[in-house]
Amino acid sequence: MIAFGQHGTVTSVSIQGNERTKTSFLEKIIGLKSGMPLDSAVIDQDIYKLKRLPSISHAYVQVQERDLEGEYDVVYGIEENFTLIPFASVYTSNDDEFAFRIGLQEFNAFGQNITLGGFYQRDIFDSFGAHIRAPYLLGKKWGLSFSYQDLTTQEPVFLEEGTADYRYNNESVELLALYQLNFKNRLEFGLNLFTEDYQYLFGVTSPEVPQNLRVNKHLLKLIYDYDGLRYYYQYLEGFRSTLNLQYVNSSDMRLPEFWIGFNDFSYFHRVGSKGNWASRLRLGLSSNLDTPFAPFAVDNNLNIRGVGNTIDRGTAAIVLNTEYRHTLIEKNWFVLQSNVFIDGGTWRNPGGDFGDFGDSQNLRVYPGVGVRFIHKRIFNAIFRIDYGHGITQEASRGIVFGIGQYF
Would residue 245 count as lying in a domain? Answer: yes
Q: Are residues 99 and 39 in the same domain?
A: no
Residue 125, Cβ density class (10 Å: 0-12 exposed, 13-18 middle, ≥19 buried):
middle
Residue 65 lies in a domain: yes
Pairing type for strands 71-80 and 56-65 reads: antiparallel
Give CA angle at 301 (218, 316), nearest 5°.
55
Domain membership flag for residue 1? no
Q: Are residues 366 and 293 in the same domain?
A: yes
Domain count along the chain: 2
CB-side exposure of 388: number of CA atoms within 13 Å?
Answer: 31
Boundary residue ending a domain (80, 95, 126): 80
Same domain, yes or no: 318 and 391: yes
Do 15 and 144 belong to one domain? no
What's the confidence (pLDDT) of residue 311?
75
Q: Are both 164 and 206 inside the same structural domain?
A: yes
Statement to judge: residues 73 and 149 lie in one domain: no
Assess whether 59 and 183 both reside in one domain. no
Q: Are residues 256 and 370 in the same domain?
A: yes
Q: Examine residue 167 and state whether it is found in any structural domain, yes or no.
A: yes
Q: Could you tell me if 232 and 353 lie in one domain?
A: yes
Last residue of a domain, one of 34, 53, 80: 80
Distance, CA of 347 to CA of 388 (rounded, Å): 19
The pLDDT of residue 255: 79
Q: Where are the beta strands (DSSP E) in 181-274?
A: 185-203, 212-227, 230-232, 235-250, 258-271
Q: What is the per-residue pLDDT for 101?
A: 87
Give the domain extent around 19: 6-80
Statement to judge: residues 76 and 119 lie in one domain: no
User: Are residues 88 and 53 both part of a single domain?
Assistant: no
Per-residue pLDDT of the chain (407 residues; tens, 9 = 90+): 555 556 789 999 999 999 999 999 999 999 999 999 999 999 999 998 999 899 998 999 999 988 777 899 999 999 999 999 888 777 665 555 678 889 999 999 999 999 999 999 998 899 999 999 999 999 889 999 999 999 998 887 777 788 889 999 999 999 999 999 988 999 999 999 999 999 999 999 888 788 898 999 999 999 999 999 988 889 999 999 999 999 999 988 777 899 999 999 999 999 999 999 999 999 999 999 987 778 898 888 789 999 887 777 899 999 999 999 999 999 988 999 999 999 999 999 999 999 999 999 899 999 999 999 999 888 888 999 999 999 998 888 989 888 889 99
**The CATH number of the domain where 352 resides is what?**
2.40.160.50
Q: Are 316 and 284 in contact (CB under 8 A)?
A: yes
Measured CA angle at 280 (ends 132, 241), to 5 deg: 60
Are 70 and 156 in a shared domain? no
Domain's final residue, options 59, 80, 101: 80
Dihedral angle over CA of 303, 400, 371, 391, nearest 10: 60
pTM above 0.85, yes or no: no
